[in-house]
Each structure stands twice: as C-alpha cells, then as structure tokens.
Structure 1
C-alpha cells in the first residue's frame, strides 16, 4: 500500500525528486519503493529515460486502480470528518479564459464566503489542460463529447452570435443575409485560418462565408470592446454579449441564423474517475451547476 502511494505521487509529479520532496522521503527511498512495487507485481510500471518518466501499458492500468484506491481511502477519511468539520482544502481547476472571466469568476465571492475553509486556484487558459500532468482537480471544457475515462457534470451550453454597435450599423447598414458580411469589417479571433470563415445554419441549410476585417483579436473582452467602439461586426459568446445587448450598447446581427464556431458546445466540469468525489469538489461542482443552470446527466462510470 505504501509503495502504491509513492507510485501515484511519482506519476502525478512526473519525477522521483519532486515526489520525494512532497512525501518527505529521500530520492533513493522513492526509487527503492518503486523497485519493490515492480518486483511484487512482476511487471515494469515506469519507463525511465534521462529526461522524463513514462507509464508502461501495465503501469497505466495499475496507476488508475491505485489512484482510485487512494481516492477511496481519502474519501473515507473525509466522510468521517464531515460530521465534525467543514469541507476544506484547495481546488485546482483549469478553465477557458472567457468562460473563467465572465461565467465562473463572478460567482467566486459567494462560493468562498459560503465555504471559508476551501480555497480555489483557477488557471485561465485556452489550451487543453491535462488533469494528471497539470495536477488539476477539475477541468472546465467546451465539448459535445466529453473524453472517455473522465467523469463530469454538464454546466450549461455555450452559443455564439454576431454583434455590432448601433453607430456602426447606422453608418454601414444591418446585413440581411450572411453573404452581405463580405461588405463589412468583421472582427474575428485570428488564431487559425478557419476563424475568418464563418459558418451559419438555418433550417438545415449550412452556409460558409469568408469574412475580412482590419482587426482580429483572440480575447473575448477585447472583441467586445472593439464591437462597442464601432470597429465592425464581431463574434461573441451569448454570455458575454447579454448585458451590453440589454443595455443597448451592441445589437445582435443576423439573429435568424445560427452562428456556429468550434468554440460552441456544451460546457462540462470534468474530473478523474472516482466513486468517491472529495466533498470540497462535490460542493464546488454542484455550486457551479446550480448557478449556471446545468441540467443534463453526468458522464462517467458513476454519478456525481
């Protein structure tokens, strides 16, 4: 059991030295522990190179069971503590920048006030974060197909639309058809060539329009500001555009067409598979689902 604890820590930290530091062992003690585990199991669990560690095929399967076993043990300790103390500890999560800024962050003061012993470390990053490699408890991702091997909870759906300022439309007119966007200055992400090819759907009819403009920005807040300043027609998530649209600062364009991007889809809170989710994480996920309106069933091998 103790060797499995060491094994899991080595995998999670990616090195013998960091695992030894976190466990309070010497590097040689960690190495001996892994050697004992491999001898006892009769298989190599780690493939060592001069630069990094990799799990063997058998090591991957053993790691998943060992991690689940340790999670169960930790859950048993936390369950017993529920009758005496509040949930506590740190939650490490990764979330796309715009979602974190506009959807998650506004609710954090209420969550932290309600649970004073729980801390949240939120990493706003649009890259695909790996729960194990990045030592995360939770990943918030936009996907219609949650990755196999993870569990999670649906939080809400992310949809996008096109918007412009009243001043811009007064000068350039409201487009009546997606093809008319070719005559407008369009504000898009600019990260990939596909970002300037806008896709529309109406009654099953799919239409792709190549747009152009003098300004592109891969930050949602910047595109919103550019739209408000009259720089053109810009793409924005509904959750970002809702308030300025209600206040009349921006106007929805081509609202009778569905605007589709690779950034549309279901928003999921995903976490490693376990039958016993730590109370602090369970509280946090349920809190987000309650605030964001998540109503779909969970994914994974067991319910939240």
Structure 2
C-alpha cells in the first residue's frame, strides 16, 4: 500500500481524534482508513493508536512518530513542488476565509483573476463574521481586517482598510448633518456588534480620540450595516472598499471628512512560512500585488469619463 497515503491518513486521524471524522475529511470509507492505519503500523512495527468504542488516542509510539511523519508529508510536498515547478502548472485546493463584505467587494474578483492565471488551483471561499481557528477548520488562508492578530499565526499585510462615516440623504434631511464629532451623540448610529458598538475612534490632526455613540440597530455583519444606512436608519462607519460606489452616486453622504476613522490592516493570515504549498504562496503574492501600493485600489480616484467619446447615432 502507498506509504505516503497511509501517513497522511494517520496524521488526519491524529488531528481529528476519530477514524470516522478522518474518513469524512479524506473522502474515504472507514474501512479504507483502517487499512491505511494497519499498513502503516506494520511498516513501522509499532502500534500507533489506542482504540476504544468511543475514542482513539495516540500510543507512546504514535506520539513519537507523529511529528516526524508530519515532516515527511511536508518534505514530500516540497519535493513535488520543486520537481514540477518548471514543467507543471501548479495544482491543488485552497480553503480561504474572509468577511462577507470584503468577499463581495474585492476578494471574489481577485480570486477569479488569480484562477485565470492558474486554472488548476481550486479555491473554496468561506465567509464568516469571526476569526476562525485555522487548524480546527482546515483553513489555508484567512484575509482578516484588524489591528489585533492572534498569537501563533503568521501574517502578511496586504493593504490598509480605511473607513468613512456616512448616512443617506434621507436621514440627513430628517435629522440634520453633524458638524462636530460630539454631535454624533444626538444621532442614531448603526454600529458593529464586535467592533464599534459603543464608540467611534476618529483621527484628527494626528490625534486619535474616542467618541461615544448609540443607536437602535447593531449587527455583526458589515453588509447589514450598509443596507441599514442606505435605507435611512442612521449614521454608519463603513469600509471605503464597500461603499465607494454608494458615495460616488450619492446614495450615501460622507460625514466629518476631517475626522477619519482609525485605519485597520488587511492581512493574509496563515500558519507557517516553512514548507508552504506553492499554490498558497502564489495566491498570497498575487493578493499582495493586487491590493498593495501606497493607496489601496478602492481608495484611488474613480476614472473620469471622457466627454469626447459620444455615442454614435445610427
């Protein structure tokens, strides 16, 4: 039996703590998983797992073998990458995660452009409103918008996320336009449940200040806040990548432009720089190139239509 497949199966069993869950992840039958495990134990001449009717646990030999077998998988992956780099199109499957708003506004188009270069790389994109466990949920890359990164992960900064205070013309006509940050206390503010629920952090003349805010509506999803702002529910702090077109067409009005909300970093977050699969490295480099620069693409001025180009009449 293929020793490499048997090693991969054992590592998955160790990660999942179950032969059944490992079979589901690997898309194998439970019987095949058991055969892979038995083959590896025969090859190594040692029992790797203690099995009961409810759970499995690593034997002493299994605990000693696991880190070495992980290294063997990494080395095999590196060898395949090096051997095929010059001649073969990169292949593989990547699991990504980011917020719904960033996926809709920017990341999905970037992924489509990336796959036009590397059509044999498959990508599964999961949108969530929380920081996921990269190991537990088998995530290769998370694109996170934050200034606070978890310990134990590696990150590469891709761009800066700037936000704007904005509201619909209907709301401003009904409630008036704030002239100072302190005026926000008299307005309905639509806030993020996990971010700016009770305060807005604004920067003016190099100083960062906090302004207390309140309102009848909050949500853990930025897309909901945008829809509420468009519907006239109040003032919202929204990322510029998500409301650029709304501001350009006048559906939303930018407020207090001299008081900029605190910028956040947009990061590519992954587990390790060592033994990094080639598809993952290619994708991270692509995103850094696409989103990087002194000004993020969504913050650059919109192109001005050429008035000389007139429609031709038939």
Q: Aligning the two structures, in what range does the TM-score lie when normalised by the shorter sequence?
A: 0.7 to 0.9
Choose the corresponding residue for 1:77, options 70, 77, 80.
Answer: 80
- 1:111 is matched with 114
Query: Which fold has the larger relative contact order, with Cα–Cα distance below 8 Å and residues 6 or more apart in sequence?
Result: 1
- Cα root mean square deviation, aligned: 3.6
Q: Is the contact made by 1:161 and 1:253 (CA closer than 8 Å) also made in structure 2?
A: yes
Q: Is the 8 A contact 1:6 1:33 kept in 2?
A: no
Q: 1:187 aligns with which of 187, 190, 199?
A: 190
The residue number in structure 1 matching 2:20 is 17
Gaps of at least 5 residues in structure 1 are 296-304
Aligned pair partner of 2:93 in 70, 75, 90: 90
Answering whether residue 132 of structure 2 is matched by residue 129 of structure 1, we say: yes
Q: Pick one of 248, 270, 275 that aligns with 1:246.
A: 248
* Higher Cα radius of gyration: 2
Cα separation, 1, equivalents of 2:56 and 2:201: 43
In the alignment, is residue 279 of structure 1 matched against residue 267 of structure 2? no
TM-score normalised over the length of structure 1: 0.77
> Contact 2:10/2:37 (CA < 8 Å) preserved in 1?
no
How far did 1:46 drift?
A: 7.6
Q: What runs of 5+ residues in structure 2 fail to find an aligned partner? A: 295-314
Q: How does 1:170-185 map to 2 (within 5 A)?
A: 170-185=173-188
Aligned partner of residue 119 in structure 2, secondary structure = coil
- Aligned match of 2:105: 102
> Aligned equivalents of 2:70 and 2:117: distance in 1?
30
Say if 1:186 and 1:19 are closer, same or farther in 2 by CA, change over 3 A: closer
The aligned residue for residue 307 of structure 2 is none
Cα pair 1:12 1:135 within 8 Å, conserved: no
The size of the alignment, in residue pairs, is 287
Task: Report how far residue 38 of structure 1 moved.
Answer: 10
TM-score by length of 2: 0.75
Deviations 1:84-116 (A, max 9, x none): 221112111111222222120122322222222
